[in-house]
Each structure stands twice: as C-alpha cells, then as structure tokens.
C-alpha cells in the first residue's frame, strides 16, 4: 500500500458486490413493466449509478420511453409519476439486491488489507439506506465491513455531484483528496470522483458496462469477452478514470500506478 494513502471509497453493485450489476436492472425493468411501459436493459443501464429517484427521472426522459409513457397513460410523465415509481421500486430493489448480494472475488480481501494497513474504507451507493438493509449483513457474513456507508438521499445531491464522496471523507477524517481514491464501475461514479478531486479507478469486467454475471461472462467466446471488456474500459477512461482495472481484485496494481499524496 502507498504510504500516503488515507482512504479508498468503493461503490457497491458492480464494484464490490453483484458481479455485472444485475440487481438495479432487474428492479428498474420490473417497475416500468408494471407501469405498462417496458424498458430495455440498455436503457436501464444508461444512467446506472445515479440515485434511484434520479435514475427513474432520467429513464422517463428517454425519448422512446417518454413517447411510450404518453401513449400508455395519455399524458407526459410528471414528477408525481417519478414519486410513484420510486415508491414502488423500493421493495423490488430490496428483493433484487438481496438476491444479488454475493461479493465479487477479491473484494473482502482487498478491503481487509487496506484496513489492516490503517487505510480507511468508505462506501457510497445509489441505493437508499432501506435498500441496503439486507445487503450489509450479507456483506459482513462474507467478510466485507466498510468503515463508512453513504446512501442515496443522505446528501442534498447524488452522483455525479461529489457530496456523497465528500461525506465519506469528512466522516472518515481523510484528507487531502490527493491521498484518497474512488473505485467505481459506472461512468457517473467516476465523474463523482473527479468532481471530488480524488484519484479514480474504473472497474470494467464486473460492472455495469459489460452487465453480465461472472458465469455468463466466463461462458463467452474469448474474443467476445475481450471486446466487451475493452468497450467498458474505453467508456470508463473517457469518463475520466485515472486507471481502469478488470475487477476489484486488481486494485493493488492500480494503486501502485497512482501518484498518491
């Protein structure tokens, strides 16, 4: 570990748990289908990492979805519709998150090694505190116990604003920002890290851009798998990631590349 490293703040789905970030997609597709306006998985993934209320609002703003909503409901979607969908998605999100709470290989080991060296381990998520209720004990059972958690709705704005990340650093007493790192699989999470002034590490293979479970990714032909990971790597790099790795297990090598401090 770099001697000046003070804190690493991790995203959750697609970064530390839920290989492929499947749970949010399952819940979003389900809630829109029940509203009579099915959405495609690619549409649900486009703004992944946002707070779920903001994500729903963004989905309703997609031209195809907006048109389908108007046809189905006889009017354009409103803030009342955003609120109703957000209320409905809570139980679905909690159920989906509970069913996809397996740690990504290496996650617990990496976090434990950081903490053993005196590096604070923070975390933030687009899930609400209620949605995390079943995930936290499942993660702890598997050996992952971050020192801090900030959830959607606990700061005035969510990603891509830096507020959730800054709240982590304030509560952890970690500074300067140049001695801290954000690890995230979504472009909006990388934007959050850049806005906060910390170093950013993108996670390509296990995250939202590839969107496949570990088994499904392994089952692909080598050329297809490599192409999908390369596409995710490019997206994260273009979003501003300082370094991009395949999974969190590769983090130690990434940290050695960064001029931390």
CA count, 13 A, side-chain hemisphere, 237: 10
Distance CA 214, CA 194 (A): 28
Q: Which active-site residues does the annotation give? A: 11, 52
Question: How much is the pTM?
Answer: 0.90
Point out the domain boundary residue: 71, 99, 127: 99
What is the length of the chain?
A: 261
Say which DSSP state 217 is in. H
The predicted structure's pLDDT at residue 51: 87
What's the CATH code of the domain at 86? 1.10.150.240
Q: Is 2 within a domain?
A: no
Q: Which residues in the chain come in under a pLDDT of 70?
A: none
Q: Are residues 231 and 125 in the same domain?
A: yes
Helices (H), the chain: 22-34, 41-45, 52-60, 63-73, 79-99, 107-116, 135-141, 163-172, 187-196, 214-219, 222-239, 251-257
> Does the residue 205 lie in any domain?
yes
Q: Read off the pLDDT of residues 188-218 as tens digits, 9 standing for 90 and up.
A: 999 999 999 999 999 999 999 999 999 999 9
Q: Output the pLDDT for position 261.
A: 83
Edge-to-edge strand list for the sheet holding 243-245: 120-123, 7-10, 180-184, 199-203, 243-245
Domain tally, the chain: 2
Residues 56 and 87 in one domain: yes
Peptide bond into 76 cis (omega under 30): no
SS3 state at 30: helix
Please identify, among 51, 80, 99, the residue that sits at the C-terminal boundary of a domain.
Answer: 99
Cα separation of 209 and 190, whole Å? 13
Q: Is residue 1 part of a domain?
A: no
Q: Within 13 Å and on the Cβ side, how many CA atoms surround 113?
A: 12
Domain range spanning residue 89?
23-99
Last residue of a domain, one of 55, 71, 99: 99
CATH classification at residue 190: 3.40.50.1000
Q: 149-187 b/e with 16+ CB inside 10 Å = b?
A: bbbbbebeebbbbbbbbbbbbeebebeebebbbbbbbbb
């Amino acid at each position: 570990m770099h001697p000046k490293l003070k804190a690493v703040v991790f995203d959750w789905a697609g970064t530390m748990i839920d290989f492929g970030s499947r749970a949010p997609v399952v819940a979003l597709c389900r809630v829109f289908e029940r509203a009579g306006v099915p959405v495609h998985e690619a549409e649900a993934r486009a703004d992944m990492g946002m707070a779920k209320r903001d994500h729903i609002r963004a989905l309703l703003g997609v031209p195809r979805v907006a048109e389908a909503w108007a046809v189905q409901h006889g009017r354009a979607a409103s803030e009342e519709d955003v609120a109703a969908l957000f209320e409905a998605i809570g139980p679905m999100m909690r159920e989906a998150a509970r069913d996809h709470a397996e740690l990504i290989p290496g996650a617990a080991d990496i976090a434990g090694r950081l903490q053993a060296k005196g590096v604070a381990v923070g975390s933030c998520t687009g899930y609400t505190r209620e949605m995390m209720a079943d995930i936290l004990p499942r993660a702890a059972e598997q050996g992952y116990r971050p020192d801090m958690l900030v959830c959607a709705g606990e700061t005035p704005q969510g990603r891509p604003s830096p507020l959730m990340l800054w709240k982590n650093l304030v509560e952890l007493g970690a500074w300067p920002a140049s001695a801290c790192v954000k690890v995230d699989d979504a472009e909006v999470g990388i934007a959050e890290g850049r806005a906060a002034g910390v170093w950013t590490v993108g996670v390509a293979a296990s995250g939202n851009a590839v969107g496949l479970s570990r088994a499904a990714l392994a089952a692909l032909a080598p050329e297809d798998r490599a192409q999908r990971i390369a596409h995710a790597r490019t997206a994260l790099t273009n979003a501003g990631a300082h370094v991009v790795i395949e999974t969190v297990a590769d983090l130690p090598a990434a940290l050695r590349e960064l001029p931390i401090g």
